[in-house]
Amino acid sequence: MELISKAMIEGLFKPRDAGSHKGNHGHVMLLAGSKGKMGACIIAAKACQRAGAGLLTVHVDAEERMIVQIAIPEAMVSSPGDAAAPERFSAAGVGPGLGTTKETTEALFVLVDRWKKPMVLDADALNILSTSPHYLNNLVPGAILTPHPIEFDRLFGKHENEEARRLKALQVSRQYPLVIVLKSAQTLVAFNGEGYLNTNGNAGLAKGGSGDALLGIIAAFLGQGYPPLDAARLGVYLHGKAADIALEAQSMESMLITDVIDCLGKAFISIQGNEQG
């Protein structure tokens, strides 16, 4: 197992061309949010934009559109029934606050069957998949799953401890052409039987919303054309680094995930040769 180091991340990161425009940096579709859970959607969307997505369209129920338009004026919004044009998207992030209703479940399975571009799935998307795990075979190769321990156990069976989950994640990544991001105090990224362990970050991330932000960050990297494994490693490292930077102004008790998102800029600067350590 290899540690995710600053040197590794600096080698993966591609600085933005000064002459580029928004069309050069991907168009992400975010499928998230439901009544009472729009906060998860907003967090994921803000993190996606802070992580460099050129364009973002948030797909929510029509009655929730106004929340998105007010909270994230930079994003576009679509709803069921709108004219669909999936070819305009370069990647998808699916799951935060999505809910597990019958309608949502059916829509997710249709998406899994039809979506052929990079995607990352978290939260309720994983909970829905756990009810029909054979759909793992239908996911586009390179799809990224970002479960926390309980979600992981729902998908792949009960495990006694973190070490058992890590071994299972490595096994799953050999069995399926997927990237598994097993979230924990030290998050594991598994792909093709190889493991990469992220050791930065802090317990300020042990709050609701942290996983939603991570999904948004990873989705942004997928949208910008990074290979799935690289998008996952970049995402977990910068997520943790931003949390460490947030400690300069907050304690682990007081830190909010919005504080972490606000520190993503400094996290990016730290991997561009302008900071030591």
- Is there a contact between 42 and 64 (Cβ–Cβ < 8 Å)? no
Q: What is the mean pLDDT of residues 232-257?
A: 98
Position 220 pLDDT exceeds 90: yes
Distances (CA, A) of 10 to 24, 180, 216, 270, 274: 21, 22, 20, 9, 11
Residue 84: pLDDT band (50, 70, 90) is low
Residue 82: pLDDT band (50, 70, 90) is confident
Q: Report helix, strand or coil for 48.
A: helix
Residue 274: pLDDT band (50, 70, 90) is low
Express each pLDDT in 110-168 by its tens digit.
999 999 999 999 999 999 999 999 999 999 999 999 999 999 999 999 999 999 999 99
What beta strand segments (E) does the chain contain?
A: 2-3, 27-31, 55-59, 76-78, 91-94, 119-121, 144-145, 179-182, 188-191, 194-197
Residue type, 178: L
Express each pLDDT in 39-80 by its tens digit.
999 999 999 999 999 999 999 999 999 999 999 999 999 998
Domains defined for the chain, CATH in brackets = 2-270 (3.40.1190.20)
- Is there a contact between 122 and 101 (Cβ–Cβ < 8 Å)? no
Distance separating alpha carbons of residues 246 and 214, to the nearest angstrom: 15
- pLDDT at position 87, please? 85
- pLDDT at position 233, please? 98
